[in-house]
Structures are given as C-alpha cells and as structure tokens.
C-alpha cells in the first residue's frame, strides 16, 4: 500500500485490486478508491489493460467530467492511482427518474466525451451504466479498453470489445480500422435508455432504437416530451456507423432537447391508480399508426423478396424462417440481428442454391443480400457468388436495388431447372 494511504479493505468481495482507502495524514476527509495493477508477471493482459487506463487517466486528469485522479504512483512494477469514492449514476438518479434528469446527466457525459475526442482523440469503447458515476457531477470512469491514437490496443483482432448488450454492431469483432468513437455514440444512447428505467430492465433492447416503435418509447419516463428524443436515439443507434451523429452533435442535440423542455417538463407520468382502467398501448392513435407503418413495410419487403425469387423459380421457392441459418457462415451475420428480416431460397436439380434475404435496418432503409451456393459431394453448400444492394425501402432507391438484384440472379440461374418446392 502506498505510504500516504491507509487500506480500509476491498471495495467488495472479489475486487482485491480495488481498495477503499483514507489519507494517512487525514488532510482530506472521507474515503477514496485506490486501483492497482495486477502483477504483470502473472496476468499480462489485465496488467496491459490497467496500463491503458493509467495512461488515459494521466492524460485526462484535468478534464472536467472524467473521474479525477488525486494521487498516483508505482509500487515496484505495478502502477496505481487514487480517485474519489463515487456512486453509480444510476443510483444517484434513483429507481423512477424523470426523463429530463436522465437527459441532463447523459448530456453532461456526452459533452465530456466530445471534449475527450477533441483534445486526445480517445474512444472509450466500454460505455455502460456501471461506468458512469456521480460525485458532485456526472463522471466518466474505466478507460481500460480505450482506443488511443497511434497506440496498439490490448484487444486482439477479431475479439469482441465492451459489454455486448451496449455494444455497437461493428465492435462485435474488432478490426484494426474500426473507429470506436462512433460506437461510443451507440453505447451512450443505449445507456440513456436503460438509465431512464422505461421497463426496469438492466439491459437495453436489441438493435436500433427505432422511432415510433412502442417497445423503444421513452414516454413511460417522460410523457409526450419523450417523442422529441426518439429520432435522435434512432440516429445514434443506426447500424451503419457513418449514419450516426458525432458525440459532439449528440451532446448538442440533447442540450437542444433540454432547452425546449425546461425544469418541470418531461416528468415521469404517475402510474395508474388502483382500480383505474389501463389503456392498452395500441389504443393510442399514434402507436396504432406506427404499428401500421411497420406492418406495411414488412409486407412490402416480403412481397418484393417473393416476387424476385418467383421470377427465378416460379414454383420452387420456399420462405426461410431465419436468414442467419443460410448467411451467417458467409459473413452477413451482422444483418441477421436486425428488427426484421425475410429470406427465401430455391435449389436447382444441379444443386445450385439461390438465397435472397431482405433486411429492414433501424433507419427504414433496406439491405438485400443474395448468395449463389453450390452443393458439395457431402451435401453441404459452398459460396459461389454473393450480391449486396441497398436503399430506402419505400423510395425509388429501394426499388432500383431489388431490380439490380433480380437481374443478377436471373443471369446466374439461367439454364438451371428448379423443381417445385415442398412448401
């Protein structure tokens, strides 16, 4: 233990490297938290992760909104640092927070992260409720897997980064050219949703937080004012990183929402009193309209996929329950987790399988993926050709995309005989 500090025990069972401490000279009252590196001779990767956090904390020690370092040093070959003892932001906000309070706190975090990007070009890559703290103000902590400029990270190529429930799609398997800053926007939007405690779940819904979908609505936490946030959260959780706002823009948009919802607005509605008749969510005309839009889009996607495949094999098409069963092995698994996907396939007498899948992305765009596969002597299929086209489902670009796909598949399937499907 560093000589200036008195050990008061582990912060909790199993966290032996995170200690409660007080100053020996008691010049500053209260408890602090001391974190010390694992022994690098025994736990090399954990020690490298701590070194990354140590370096980032040293670089950001004067950055407002980052958990401050009040002391640091080394014991032998093990670096350590001390920070104030803080509480998790979720506990500070409480079990039934008003949406405005949540947005105000997350806007402060977004401001901090935007300044960190501007000053140090650092991506956090591990944003989740447990890493947002409160000590007089919202604070960002735990930069252990941060992405630093011009430095190799501890995460190996192909390894997942961060908590999967808050993880952006492109971060599921890290590649050297993946920019973690856009992923931070996704993770912070998901964190906002959980902090608002819409449904008292610890984890956010899977996929893009699509505006207008009842299951993604923040109204239970903020009433009607919550609707003005929905398109921002949808944009922040777009599947394509290039379509997400920057952290600076995300912070500015949250501040703009706060400006139009001053203190006293966006309060959490009171739950119905006992004995009152609960209004079903879909009795809300807006919710009915949203549900109708989703049904219309799914019906249109199914019609287009089926129509295209019928031109290849008029009676030999079967609709598949899960595109992932046919496409995952060829690198298209990122689309199989979207809100809606529809797939169809057909197999010729010569063992040529044609698969077409359509995916509605969170922003309303559609992505069509087709594969031509050949049956092997062992009965499995290997990829021969793949095609990928996208556009806005209900706009001309979506129609152009499916027609391009249709022409390519018809050219490949020419001369093959597709027997009738057993469906």
The tokens of 272 are what? 């119905």
For residue 285, is it within any domain? no
Percent residues over pLDDT 70 in the chain: 82
The tokens of 413 are what? 């399937």
For residue 74, is it within any domain? yes
Q: Which of 40, 42, 22 is nearest to 32 (CA)?
A: 22
Q: Check pLDDT > 90 for residue 292.
A: no
For residue 202, is it within any domain? yes
Determine the structural domain holding residue 387 and report its residue range: 294-413
**Distance between CA atoms of residues 169 and 97, nearest Å:** 29
Q: Check pLDDT > 90 for residue 342.
A: no
DSSP-based three-state secondary structure for 186: helix
The tokens of 200 are what? 């008292």
Q: Check pLDDT > 90 for residue 53.
A: no
Percent residues over pLDDT 90 in the chain: 19
Report residue 10: phi and psi, to 5°.
-65, 150
**Distance between CA atoms of residues 36 and 25, nearest Å:** 21
Q: Domain total for the chain?
A: 3
Q: What is the CATH number of the domain that holds 31?
A: 3.30.200.20
pTM over 0.85? The answer is: no
Model confidence pLDDT, tens digit, residues 392-415: 776 777 778 888 889 999 998 888
Q: Check pLDDT > 70 for residue 340.
A: no
Report the alpha-carbon angle 47-51-57, nearest 5. 140
Report residue 388: phi and psi, to 5°.
-150, 120
231 vs 342 pLDDT, higher one: 231
Q: What is residue 140's predicted lDDT score, i.e. its pLDDT? A: 93
Q: What is the mean pLDDT of residues 78-86?
A: 88
**Is the domain of 185 the same as that of 229?**
yes
For residue 112, is it within any domain? yes
pLDDT band at 160 (very low <50, low <70, confident <90, very high): very low
Q: How many CB atoms lie within 10 A of CB 377?
A: 6
**Is the domain of 63 the same as that of 104?**
no
The tokens of 184 are what? 């931070």
390 vs 192 pLDDT, higher one: 192
Model confidence pLDDT, tens digit, residues 350-365: 888 888 888 877 666 7
**Distance between CA atoms of residues 388 and 151, nearest Å:** 34
**Distance between CA atoms of residues 180 and 168, nearest Å:** 9
**Is the domain of 59 the same as that of 145?**
no
pLDDT band at 133 (very low <50, low <70, confident <90, very high): very high
The tokens of 391 are what? 């556009």
Q: Check pLDDT > 80 for residue 295.
A: no
E-strand ranges in 329-409 read 340-347, 352-360, 365-375, 381-392
156 vs 49 pLDDT, higher one: 49
Highest mean pLDDT among 26-40, 45-59, 61-75, 333-347: 61-75
**Distance between CA atoms of residues 112 and 22, nearest Å:** 28
Nearest-10 crossing angle of helices 180-195, 99-120: 160
Q: What is the mean pLDDT of residues 281-303?
A: 68
105 vs 265 pLDDT, higher one: 105
**Is the domain of 122 the same as that of 47?**
no
**Is the domain of 119 the same as that of 242?**
yes
Q: What is the mean pLDDT of residues 40-58?
A: 82
Q: What is residue 339's predicted lDDT score, i.e. its pLDDT? A: 46
**Is the domain of 130 the same as that of 222?**
yes
The tokens of 178 are what? 């993946």
| 79 in Cβ contact with 54 (< 8 Å) | yes
**Distance between CA atoms of residues 312 and 387, nearest Å:** 15
What is the distance, to the nearest Å, from the Cα of residue 150 to the centroid of all Cα atoms in its chain?
25
Q: What is residue 256's predicted lDDT score, i.e. its pLDDT? A: 92
Last residue of a domain, one of 30, 62, 84: 84
Q: What is residue 315's predicted lDDT score, i.e. its pLDDT? A: 74
**Is the domain of 229 the same as that of 314?**
no
Last residue of a domain, one of 30, 64, 84: 84
**Is the domain of 47 the same as that of 98?**
no
Q: What is residue 290's predicted lDDT score, i.e. its pLDDT? A: 63
Q: Check pLDDT > 80 for residue 157.
A: no
**Distance between CA atoms of residues 339 and 237, nearest Å:** 13
Q: What is the mean pLDDT of residues 44-51?
A: 83
Q: Check pLDDT > 80 for residue 182.
A: yes
Q: What is residue 279's predicted lDDT score, i.e. its pLDDT? A: 41
Q: Check pLDDT > 60 for residue 322.
A: no
Q: Check pLDDT > 80 for residue 308.
A: yes
Owner of token pair 């690198």: 331
For residue 319, is it within any domain? yes
**Is the domain of 101 the same as that of 225?**
yes
Burial letters for 18-46: b for 16+ Cβ neighbours within 10 Å, e otherwise? ebbbbbeeeeeeeebbbbbbbebeeeeeb
In sequence order, what are the beta bridge partners of 34? 19, 82
**Is the domain of 124 the same as that of 248?**
yes
Q: What is residue 250's predicted lDDT score, i.e. its pLDDT? A: 93
Q: What is residue 280's predicted lDDT score, i.e. its pLDDT? A: 43
Q: What is residue 249's predicted lDDT score, i.e. its pLDDT? A: 93
**Is the domain of 240 the same as that of 174?**
yes
Report residue 28: phi and psi, to 5°.
-125, 120
For residue 55, is it within any domain? yes
187 vs 228 pLDDT, higher one: 187
32: DSSP letter = E
For residue 131, is it within any domain? yes
Model confidence pLDDT, tens digit, residues 3-42: 788 888 888 776 778 888 888 776 666 888 888 888 887 7
**Distance between CA atoms of residues 351 and 348, nearest Å:** 5
Q: Which of 146, 357, 109 is nearest to 247 (CA)?
A: 109
For residue 345, is it within any domain? yes
**Is the domain of 128 the same as that of 188?**
yes
**Distance between CA atoms of residues 336 and 174, nearest Å:** 18
Q: Which of 142, 72, 132 is nearest to 106 (CA)?
A: 132
Q: Check pLDDT > 70 for residue 159.
A: no
Q: What is the CATH number of the domain that holds 176?
A: 1.10.510.10
């Amino acid at each position: 233990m560093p000589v200036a500090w008195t050990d008061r025990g582990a912060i909790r069972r199993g966290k032996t490297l995170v200690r409660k401490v007080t100053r020996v000279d008691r010049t500053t009252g209260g408890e602090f938290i001391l974190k010390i590196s694992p022994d690098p001779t025994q736990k090399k990767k954990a020690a490298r992760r701590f070194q990354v956090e140590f370096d980032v904390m040293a670089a950001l020690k004067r950055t407002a909104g980052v958990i401050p370092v009040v002391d640091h040093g080394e014991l032998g070959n093990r670096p350590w640092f001390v920070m104030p003892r803080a509480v998790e932001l979720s506990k500070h906000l409480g079990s039934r927070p008003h949406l405005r309070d949540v947005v105000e706190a997350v806007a402060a975090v977004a401001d901090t992260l935007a300044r960190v990007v501007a000053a140090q070009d650092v991506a956090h890559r591990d944003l989740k409720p447990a890493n947002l703290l409160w000590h007089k103000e919202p604070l960002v902590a735990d930069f252990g897997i941060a992405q630093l400029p011009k430095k190799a990270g501890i995460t190996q190529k192909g390894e997942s980064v961060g908590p999967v429930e808050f993880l952006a799609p492109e971060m599921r398997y890290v590649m050297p050219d993946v920019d973690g800053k856009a992923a931070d926007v996704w993770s912070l939007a998901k964190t906002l949703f959980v902090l608002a405690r819409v449904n008292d779940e610890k984890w956010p819904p899977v996929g893009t937080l699509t505006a207008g979908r009842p299951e993604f609505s923040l109204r239970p936490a903020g009433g009607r004012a919550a609707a003005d946030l929905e398109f921002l959260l949808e944009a922040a959780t777009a599947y394509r990183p290039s379509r997400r706002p920057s952290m600076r823009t995300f912070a500015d948009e949250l501040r703009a929402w706060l400006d139009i919802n001053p203190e006293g607005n966006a309060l959490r509605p009171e739950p119905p009193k006992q004995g009152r008749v609960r209004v079903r969510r879909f009795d809300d005309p807006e919710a009915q309209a949203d549900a109708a839009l989703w049904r219309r889009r799914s019906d249109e996607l199914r019609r287009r996929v089926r129509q295209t495949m019928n031109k290849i094999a008029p009676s030999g098409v079967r609709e598949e329950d899960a595109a992932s069963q046919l496409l995952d092995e060829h690198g298209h698994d990122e689309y199989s987790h979207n809100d809606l996907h529809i797939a169809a396939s057909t197999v010729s007498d010569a063992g040529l399988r044609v698969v077409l899948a359509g995916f509605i992305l969170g922003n309303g765009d559609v992505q069509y993926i087709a594969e031509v596969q050949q049956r092997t002597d062992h009965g499995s299929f290997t990829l021969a050709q793949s095609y990928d086209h996208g556009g806005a489902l209900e706009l001309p670009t979506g129609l152009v995309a499916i027609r391009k796909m249709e022409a390519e598949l018809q050219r490949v399937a020419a001369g093959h005989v597709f027997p009738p499907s057993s469906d």
